[in-house]
Amino acid sequence: MLKIGFVLPQGFQIMGLAAASAFELANTTAGSPVYGIGFYSELGGPLRNSFGATIETLPLARRKLDTLIACGLLSPAPTPDGLLARLRTASRLARRTASVCTGAFLLGEAGLLDGRRVTTHWMFARELQERFPAARVEADRIFINDGPLWTSAGMSAGIDLALGMIEADYGAELSTAVARKLVVYHRRAGGQSQHSTLLEMDAKTDRIQRVLSYARSNLHLELSVPDLAAVAHLSPRQFSRAFTSETGQSPAKAIEHLRLEAARLMIEQSRLTVEEIAAETGFSDTERMRRAFLRGYGQPPQALRRAARMS
């Protein structure tokens, strides 16, 4: 059984513990206790969270834990020296150390980020880099696994990080089963952007949301305005007007953004050729995809693939 220890500062954000549910469900899914979960603070005892409620904790002494996960605050604040000292000791004894959201600042204060690729919530990424210049902060990542160090973006990204750990420990089958039980629509890979095209479009009505979900699942199709209008049960003219009103984009521009987001993820994380990715994401040819990448990212697909492989 692998022991997971959540390291909590006073006033920790409760959503940071969402990752614990993934490990809990891994136990029930596996049919045996593959993980043990504990909550730790500097001295132990009741600890107040950001809501004002308390949780009982154990002292973070010289404990042999497989994995440490530092949870953060709503916004970064100095960590008591005593907790930092115990965190350093516990990290040396652990197989891996991780953080959720602003928990990366705890690891930085403890000197655990130096020379590592790390991430945190995009709102605090610049501050993290400025405070800990020896770290290599990648602001636009869901989570990063750099050797024994794992870091995640916002609080909900802690679930993605936990699922990644479960996959690394026990395989993709268990991780996928846990994701289904958590009703995670799509388990995000670590390299995926923190910014979601679907989220940014923020459709207000079910019919436009349905169209966007349909388009995201069928990027290999033509996805013309008449096709999308049929999904929304509207005339093409009514659909174009409603879509633009709700998303602030024309259907054609929105579809291109969805194709770009999917293609970039495949460029960075898959072994498919550029030609195969262009076909899979609905670009008619590689030249059209290259022009779209230049408009969207200022670089061609091959440059992004080289950068991803180097990192």
Answer yes or no: do 145 and 33 share one domain.
yes
Provide the residue range defining the domain that includes 224.
197-310
Per the rule left: phi > 0, alpha: psi between -120 and 50, beta: everything else, 110 is alpha
Angle between helix 172-181 and 157-170 (nearest 10): 150
Instruction: List the CATH number of the domain containing 219.
Output: 1.10.10.60
pLDDT tier for residue 198 given thresholds of 50, 70 and 90: low
pTM (global) more than 0.85: no
Q: Are residues 93 and 61 in the same domain?
A: yes
H or E element: which one contains 46? strand 45-48
CB under 8 Å to 273, separation ≥6 — which residues?
Answer: none
Asked if residue 208 and residue 162 are part of one domain, the reply reads: no
- Which pLDDT score is estimated for 202? 66
41: DSSP letter: E
Asked if residue 201 and residue 115 are part of one domain, the reply reads: no
CATH number for the domain including 74? 3.40.50.880
End of a domain among 181, 205, 229?
181
pLDDT at 142 over 60: yes
Q: Look at residue 196 in the predicted model and tell me its pLDDT.
A: 54
Residue 191 pLDDT: 47
161 & 209 share domain? no
Q: What's the mean per-residue pLDDT of the chain?
A: 88
One domain for residues 205 and 141 = no
Task: Give pLDDT, residue 269.
Answer: 78
* Euclidean distance between CA atoms 175 and 157, whole angstroms: 15
Residues 201-232 have pLDDT tens digits of 667 788 888 898 888 889 999 999 999 999 99
Domain boundary at 181, 208, 232, which?
181
Q: What is the pLDDT of residues 225-276, one digit of tens each?
A: 999 999 999 999 999 999 999 888 899 999 998 999 889 888 887 888 999 9
The domain total for the chain is 2
Residues 218 and 299 in one domain: yes
Say how far apart CA 159 and CA 145 lie, in whole Å.
14
Residues 173 and 201 in one domain: no
